[in-house]
Amino acid sequence: MLNKSGLVRMKSIAQKVFDIEMASLNEVASRLDNSFEEAANAIQQTKGKLIVCGMGKSGHVGRKISATFTSTGTPSFFLHPAEAFHGDLGMISPNDIVLLISYSGETEEILKIIPYLQYNKNTVIAITGNPNSTLAKHARHHLNVKVSQEACPLELAPTSSTTATLVMGDALAIALMTVRDFTPADFARFHPGGSLGRKLLVTVKDLMRTESLPFINTDASFTQLVIKMSEGKLGMVIIGDKDNVEGVITDGDLRRGLVKYEDIHHMPITDFMNTDPIFVNEDEMVFDADELMLQRKITTLLIKSSGNAVVGVYQIFNQV
């Protein structure tokens, strides 16, 4: 177990890693030139896919870069260089652009692919830390991610260099999605099961409760109100009918009424109902409905159809 001085030392080491890697990113950013724009334009104009290929740590980074491209509007997949040389080269069509990643620019498994790519007439983009490397010289476009110092004190484990490579990939992907006017709705279509999909693709109609809605007449007794609220299992009742809602009573309204009125059991329920419930259209997006309820500090909305009838109840804790 580390003592206080040990924890302080760990924190100082972590701070040094951040400092080195941030300085490395600034170093790489300062060298951005026309090659970046040319590479981005080539990807934008291709009629095929972007195939990303890297070995070892570069491969791990390449997988993430490919995933980012795919989710932001650029069709892409990762190809393992060793598998490529044993049959998977057939996955590359002439229209595809190939992004090869090797910090040294001399990775054997990557270089062995180049003759096939030349034969196939693929455009090659290289990310390396050595502009004079074999890979850089055989690429149409070269992106230089050379760093002066790895964060690893032994200068052995790829750290600053892999961070720089990842950010270069992110920069390409973000540049392309911006030029293409890629919208949050576009992103959500690729992530329908995630929180963004819920925000931008799902309407309250998809999630609202429609069966056995707890409607109750205005002349109902207090006892009938309590029974209907219990049966409805929504923590509220709707006063009136679907075409003429006069108000709602929530379990919160009921509790407050019990405290405020001594004879609430004998009062008309219309005397303590909320006469200003909030309605939204059934095509309202779930994200907007949730935001509205948070702003108004409520948990339930009444949902109206295009014909203005109440057709459902949506509550903030509904889930996709």
Q: The domain 4-182 is classified under which CATH number: 3.40.190.10, 3.40.50.10490, 3.40.228.10, 2.60.40.10?
A: 3.40.50.10490
Cβ neighbours for 251, distance < 8 A, ≥ 6 positions apart: 229, 235, 236
- Can you give the pLDDT at residue 198? 57
Q: Per this entry, what is the length of the chain?
A: 320
- Can you give the pLDDT at residue 34? 96
What is the topology classification, in CATH, of domain 204-315? CBS-domain (3.10.580)
For residue 34, what are its two tokens? 């026309």
Q: Exposed, middle or buried, 242 (CB in 10 Å: 0-12/13-18/19+)?
A: middle
Long-range contacts of 61-64 (CB under 8 A, 24+ apart): 61/101, 61/162, 61/165, 61/166, 61/169, 62/99, 62/101, 62/169, 64/166, 64/169
- Can you give the pLDDT at residue 287? 78
* DSSP annotation string for 88-129: GGGG--TT-EEEEE-SSS--HHHHTTHHHHHHHT-EEEEEES
Residue with tokens 């057939």: 90
- Can you give the pLDDT at residue 194? 54
Whole-angstrom Cα Rg for the chain: 30
Which part of the chain is CATH 3.10.580.10?
Answer: 204-315
Closest CA to 245 of 172, 312, 182, 200: 312
3-state secondary structure of 37: helix
* Per-block mean pLDDT, blocks of 10 residues, the chain (320 long): 66 94 96 96 94 96 95 90 85 95 96 94 97 97 96 90 97 92 65 55 84 92 91 91 92 87 88 90 86 86 90 74
DSSP β-bridge partners for residue 99? 52, 125
Angle formed at CA 181 by CA 179 and CA 183, multiple of 5 degrees: 140
Which part of the chain is CATH 3.40.50.10490?
Answer: 4-182
Residue with tokens 């509007």: 73
Q: Sign of the CA dihedral 30, 25, 182, 280?
A: negative
Buried b (16+ CB within 10 A) or exposed e, 90-121: eebeeebbbbbbbbebebebbbebbeebeeee
- Can you give the pLDDT at residue 139? 97
- Can you give the pLDDT at residue 207? 86
| CA–CA distance, 297 with 302 (Å, rounded to integer) | 15
